[in-house]
Amino acid sequence: MKKLILVTAILLSAFTVKAQKKKDKAAIKKMCGCYEVTFNFAETFSNSKDSLYKPSKTKKDKALEWAGLIEDSKNKISIQHLLQVGNPDKPYIIKHWRQDWTYQNKDFYMYNGDNNWLYEQKTKTEVKKQWSQKVYQVDDSPRYEGSGSWVHIDGKSYWESTTNAPLPRREYTKRSDYNITERGNRHEITNYGWVHDQDNKKVIRKADKKDVIIAYEKGYNTYVKVADTRCKASIDWWKKNASKWQLVRNKWDEIYKRNTNLTLKKKVQNKPLYKHLFSDKVTEQKEIDKTIESFVKK
């Protein structure tokens, strides 16, 4: 009798885990589609002791963005984002960020400031039933990643994680007084699309010194779903260019599988990596491999 109860409990537990994972995957894939996006960021509190400290200006932008599903396997979902700007009749397409979701992932590259990522291997217990979200730059180099559990309760589906990241594009061209953004990320699926809610800290990190938080920031980005036909130009662009970016991902995957700390040069031949890779002259695997490898500090 005890053995039967134990077997039943194990089967019920496995069924529950399977059902939860199915809900998780469905929530993640709801982030795909064509969206009108509103980006909102405001610095909320200052910790700086500098009387001349100037907070960042409140930022609000809008864009049309396509989030396309490029991988959907048992334990991984990959979504590529494309910005569609300019004249709606003849828009310009910008390859934007990418997000990879991996179930019970144990291998992480944690940002440590100054274009350096520390490899960290978590235990099975630490990531049990969790999904990691790895976010990439426009050239598929690393940006940040974190792990957490999807929660489905009271009609809501959301995921939360806190992790270190480089300065966002809106900041790094204007600010040099901090070198890490500690991102408190919350992704929530809504009846109109989804929300990326952020509670961020602006951090100064120096070797052998305690981190210093100079300011706090609130981010609230809404993704309102619209007809996929509005993103037709992005869909067509990706069909035309997908094979090249698969080659780029191939090289990065090989680098990530080295499972060692990673530091990238900011420029080679006076150009950042994305400018090299966006060139029509860099299209074959050998050229792509050589280009990316030239940015990896030995």
Token pair recorded at residue 67: 């989030």
298 pLDDT tier (thresholds 50, 70, 90): confident
51 pLDDT tier (thresholds 50, 70, 90): confident
Output the pLDDT for position 12: 47
Instruction: Tell me how far apart the alpha carbons of residues 100 and 86 are, in angstroms, rounded to a whole number.
Output: 28
Helices (H) and strands (E) in the chain, counts: 5, 14
Token pair recorded at residue 225: 């779903």
> Does the pLDDT at position 11 exceed 50?
no
Output the pLDDT for position 2: 60
Helix axes of 285-293 and 232-256: crossing angle, nearest 10 degrees: 60
> Does the pLDDT at position 10 exceed 80?
no
Please write the tens of the pLDDT for every residue from 57-76: 999 999 999 999 999 999 99
What is the mean predicted confidence (pLDDT) over 229-240?
97
What phi and psi values does residue 91 have, to the nearest 5 degrees?
-75, 160
Contacts of 254 (CB under 8 A, 6+ apart): none
Output the pLDDT for position 98: 98
Q: Is the distance from CB of 68 to CB of 93 less than 8 angstroms?
A: no
What is the mean predicted confidence (pLDDT) over 237-256?
97
| pTM exceeds 0.85 | yes
Q: Is the distance from CB of 41 to CB of 217 less than 8 angstroms?
A: yes
89 pLDDT tier (thresholds 50, 70, 90): confident
Q: Is the distance from CB of 98 to CB of 66 less than 8 angstroms?
A: no
What is the mean predicted confidence (pLDDT) over 105-109?
98
> Does the pLDDT at position 1 exceed 80?
no
What phi and psi values does residue 165 have, to the nearest 5 degrees?
-145, 160
What is the mean predicted confidence (pLDDT) over 113-137?
97
More confident site: 9 or 272: 272
Query: Can you give the residue ranges of every domain in the chain?
Result: 2-228
The whole-chain average pLDDT of the chain stands at 94
